[in-house]
Amino acid sequence: MAEIIDGKALAKKMQAAMAEQIVELQVKFGRSPGLAVLMVGDNPASAAYVRGKETACKRVGITSFGKHFPADASQAELELVIDELNQDDRVDGILVQLPLPEHLDAIALINRIHPDKDADGLHPYNMGRLMRGEEGLQSCTPAGVMKLLEAANVAIAGKTAVVIGRSILVGKPLAIMLLQANATVIMAHSRTDDLAAITQKADILVAAVGKPEFISANMVKSGAVVIDVGINRITDYEGNSRLVGDVDFEGVKAIASQITPVPGGVGPMTVTMLLHNTIWSYCRKYGITYS
């Protein structure tokens, strides 16, 4: 039976350390790090994510500069706010909560954020830094996955890692991070032929496909480490809903060596790395190294 990689516990430990560090930084520099989260509309899932981020900020001592806009907010209005936040010395990190209403250009808004305040690590400049192996802000979910692997003492160098999913949010940056950790990386996706033949080669299998319980036990190599990035809400015939990942947890945990649960695995680490990025930007402003 697989060992559970507890993202909730690791996030709690990291956030406790952050809270202690922020107390010291506030005394030294006269202010705490600041994070601005921009949300447009009233998407229930987005609202829940934003509340979670604001609660996490409060827990560690980061000042929130949350800005919520009506669903009909214009591109020009949001660009103006981002410009103002770029110039605001109290703000160290800026995040645009996705998805946005269809009339808005999310890529243009993300690109409008100053690279040094790009708390989500999605600006092309920071993506370029990652590609080149340079220090910089990194995408939160992939960075959280790497922290989980490190905390679980998973050997990465020389291992075969299969990443299912090629999004700019998770799959592509995570593949680069695993390459930099000296894994042999295979990227698979919706057009991959005979996916099971690929996934069965994985010493480390990462599922980020957005399909409930898509990865079954017969797709997983015995003893593999399985990281489930997916989060999906499913409803049974009685109308009861629950959250599940992209992995059939009950089936796969019987043959994997280590596995992340959903919820309580990668999710808490995504928020934690958002906080990490904000503190990193703050420290960089004052010439301090933060890792």
Number of helices (H) and strands (E), helices first, in the chain? 10, 12
Query: Which DSSP letter does residue 260 get?
Result: -
Catalytic residue among 15, 53, 221, 228: 53
Does 165 show up as a binding residue in the annotation? yes
| Cβ-based neighbour number of residue 55 at 10 Å | 11
13 is catalytic: no
Instruction: With beta carbons less than 8 A apart as the criterion, state whether 3 and 253 touch.
Output: no
**Using an 8 Å Cβ cutoff, are 7 and 250 in contact?**
no
Phi, psi of 90 (to 5 degrees): -80, -15
Phi/psi for 66 (5° steps) reads: -65, 140
CA 140 – CA 269 distance, rounded (Å): 8
* 167 annotated ligand-binding residue: yes
Q: How far apart are CA 273 and CA 119, in angstroms?
A: 9
With beta carbons less than 8 A apart as the criterion, state whether 257 and 223 touch.
yes
Is 6 considered catalytic here?
A: no
Residue from 69, 127, 60, 117 nearest 97 by CA: 69
Q: Where are the beta strands (DSSP E) in 87-223?
A: 93-96, 160-164, 184-188, 204-207
Q: Say which of 15, 97, 138, 258 is annotated catalytic.
A: 97
Asked if residue 129 belongs to a known ligand binding site, the reply is no
Query: What is the rounded radius of gyration, in angstroms, for the C-alpha atoms of the chain?
Result: 19
Name the catalytic one among 92, 116, 118, 120.
120
Q: Is 166 annotated as a binding residue?
A: yes
Q: How far is CA 266 from CA 260, 262, 270, 273, in A?
A: 7, 8, 6, 11
Interstrand relation of 160-164 and 184-188 (parallel, antiparallel or unpaired):
parallel
Q: Which residues carry a binding-site annotation for NADP(+)? A: 165-167, 231
For the annotated catalytic residues, the residue numbers are 53, 97, 120
Q: Which residues carry a binding-site annotation? A: 165-167, 231
